Amino acid sequence: MDPFLTSRIVSDILGGLTNGVIYGLVALSLVLIWRSTGILNFAQGAMPMIATYIGMVVFAHEFSYWPCVAISLVVGFAIGGGTERLLVRHLYGKPEINPIVVMVGFLIVLEGVAAAVWSTEPRGIVNPFSPIDFQLGGKPIAMSAFSLYEVITAMVVMTLVAVLFRYTKLGLQLRASALAPEVSRLLGVRVSRMLTLGWVLSMGVGTITTILVASNFFTGLTPQVMDGIFAFGFIAAAVGGLDSPVGAIISGICIGIILQFVGDFLNSNYIILVALGILIVSLMVRPNGLFTKSSVRRV
């Protein structure tokens, strides 16, 4: 059993799982906003990046890791709610291209501000978990205490969001507010609050994801730390379906594992090409996503 657990295949599966849960979290944050407001947030990587800088860099000299995580989350919630109220609210009901252009512009502004304030140099974030792989029979397994922390945190967040949308009245109100706001108002749903709450929840998931990525010893925190990961998370959301939290999770994990094998057995230069190929094929087969029930809706 020891040679199998330390084999190349198992190492790729475990490494892909670690990356995949991150992609799944990004996809989940996109699905949260889409299901609750019907808008694609292309600044979903940059907004939690700002929250992480404030929580994990500005307060790092005064507090330890966990209080800084809590501060980052609070700041993330505030950024999410404030963005919806001040910037996005005027875009509801407008042509689909309008919010896309606005959020792409917002992404550029946020990354520029972060670079101007904190520079583009990577900022290391000290976390309480070791990045050294576990040993089995004197050989390393492609899983460390930090990787386990990433996987467990991601799974807990994913489960809570899935339960929220599937089994709670609040989840139903969030979906109804996006799909039929006028009908929802007639039924007594406070649509305005639901739209804001959708952005707040999405930013919470996004901030947790950014903290996990930036806490990685090899990554650190930079203004562009989430750009590449956002691209893979967006592909996972599109493949799984923008209306399916479970699809986002499963797609993110599967894409992470597939790309890990591609980088190991083929060439790391092929990773982006394979990811785009997966996106194109899935959209040709199921334009609304592999885990979404067939419906007519424009993105």
Domains of the chain: 2-285 (1.10.3470)
Return the pLDDT at 167.
83
> From CA 257, how far away is CA 149, in angstroms rounded?
18
Q: What does the chain come to in residues?
A: 299
Q: What is the mean pLDDT of residues 178-184?
A: 74
For residue range 266-293, list pLDDT tens digits in order: 888 899 999 999 999 998 998 888 887 6
> From CA 71, how far away is CA 54, in angstroms rounded?
8
Is residue 215 packed enough to be buried (19+ CB in 10 Å), middle (13-18) or exposed (0-12)?
A: buried
Return the pLDDT at 296.
47
Dihedral of alpha carbons 30, 32, 33, 35, sign = positive
Return the pLDDT at 138.
72
SS3 at position 123: strand
For residue range 11-36, list pLDDT tens digits in order: 889 999 999 999 999 999 998 888 87
Residue 248: phi and psi, rounded to 5, are -60, -40
Is residue 158 packed enough to be buried (19+ CB in 10 Å), middle (13-18) or exposed (0-12)?
A: buried
Dihedral of alpha carbons 177, 180, 185, 186, sign = negative
Share of the chain above pLDDT 90, in %: 51
> From CA 93, how far away is CA 98, in angstroms rounded?
10
DSSP for 127-179 reads -SS--SEEEETTEEEEEEHHHHHHHHHHHHHHHHHHHHHHH-HHHHHHHHHHH
Mean residue pLDDT across the chain: 88
Dihedral of alpha carbons 241, 268, 114, 25, sign = positive
Is residue 217 packed enough to be buried (19+ CB in 10 Å), middle (13-18) or exposed (0-12)?
A: middle
DSSP percent split of the chain into helix, strand, coil, nearest 5? 70, 5, 25
Return the pLDDT at 40.
87
Residue 36 to residues 93, 129, 145, 251, Cα–Cα distance (Å): 14, 34, 35, 20
4 band by pLDDT with thresholds 50, 70 and 90: low
Assess whether pLDDT exceeds 60 at residue 240: yes
Higher pLDDT, 273 or 195: 273
